[in-house]
Amino acid sequence: MRRALNRLDSVHARLLQTVTPLDSKIFSQRPSENEWSVAEIIQHLSLVEERVTKELGAAIARQPQRVGFLRRLIPTSIVSSRLFRVKAPKGVNPIVVPQKDDAIQNFEQARRKLKALCDAHDVSRFKNLIFKHPFLGDIDGVATISFIGYHEHRHYKQIREVLKKISQAD
């Protein structure tokens, strides 16, 4: 779990170093009508992390359960691949995107809540719960934390693509 948390911190720091200095206009600009802006990506990441934290908290409150052996072999790293497009579930699509400072603050707050949940429970508790991921299926809590890091890395790459497209359009 320590490795998953270190990955969370590393990707999060790189992402914030990339988006924090952006001008508000660039932050909110879509590269095309059908692509998300950096602001929308940050909002999506916040919504996903808030939902995952809430569902992990609910899973921790239930009786311990183990994910089946074969399910534990699913590599959550596949989430970081940008080779295939995945449509986000409706509940985590950005609809009302806050201003830049508020969006970044929401993103940071979502991370603090996730890390507080991790700090409040032993790693064995995370290994003995089931999280129902919409694409990966049933995964344990440690794999869920790992998923968050890889998901954020996927969108970090997307942000870099968006910024490249915007700079080429100017």
Nearest one of 120, 110, 98, 96 to 148, comparing CA atoms: 110
Q: Which amino acid is at 163?
A: L
Q: How many domains does the chain have?
A: 1
Rounded Cα distance between 105 and 97, Å, is 12
- For residue 55, name the pLDDT band (cuts at 50, 70, 90): very high
For residue 71, give the CATH number of its domain: 1.20.120.450
What is the structure's pLDDT at 18? 97
Q: Is the pLDDT of residue 134 over 80?
A: yes
What's the domain range around 68? 2-169
Share of the chain above pLDDT 90, in %: 71
Write out pLDDT tens, residues 67-103.
Answer: 876 666 667 777 787 767 777 778 788 888 899 999 9
Rounded Cα distance between 120 and 104, Å, is 24
pTM attached to this predicted model: 0.91
